[in-house]
Structure 1
Amino acid sequence: MPFVSVRITRDGVTREQKAQVIAEITETLERVLNKRPELTHIVIEEVDTDNWGYAGMTTTEYRRQLAEEK
């Protein structure tokens, strides 16, 4: 029983886009690893940009700085 966890920032991803990600990951596991789709679990976790950091700062701050540079 495959279990796939996907973490993304919470910023405008639509229900339809998430459904597509789930479908395509499921299809890939079936095609490549012969895993049965009805036993495949996909979880998408959306993380607030204030709780996701890289480059020494939160994603919120990083994106703010990028916007100011433009």
Structure 2
Amino acid sequence: MPFVTIDVTREGVTKEQKQELINGVTLLLKNVLNKDVHLTHVVINEIDTDNWGVGGVQVTEIRKQLKQNQK
């Protein structure tokens, strides 16, 4: 029974995009590992950018810096 967790930042991922991820991962496991789609679980966690860090910096701050650099 495969169990897949996908973590993404909470930045407007749509219901349709989530469905596409769930379906895509499920089919990938079926096609590559011959796993039963009815036993495959996919969980998507949306994490606030304040709670996600890269290189010691919150993603919220990284996004702010990117926006400022684009001006």
Which interval holds the TM-score relative to the shorter structure? over 0.9
* TM-score, L = length of structure 2: 0.96
Match of 1:67 in 2: 67
Unaligned runs of 5+ in 2: none
| 1:15-63 Cα deviation digits (max 9, x unpaired) | 0000000000000000000000000000000000000001221000001
List aligned pairs for 1:19-30, cutoff 5 A. Answer: 19-30=19-30
| Equivalence for 2:42 | 42
Query: How many residue pairs end up in the alignment?
Result: 70
Separation in 2, partners of 1:57, 1:20: 30
Computed over aligned residues only, the root mean square deviation of the Cα atoms, in angstroms, reads 0.5
SS in 2 for 1:64: helix
- The share of aligned pairs that are identical, in percent, is 53
Q: Secondary structure at the match of 1:38?
A: helix
TM (norm. structure 1) is 0.97
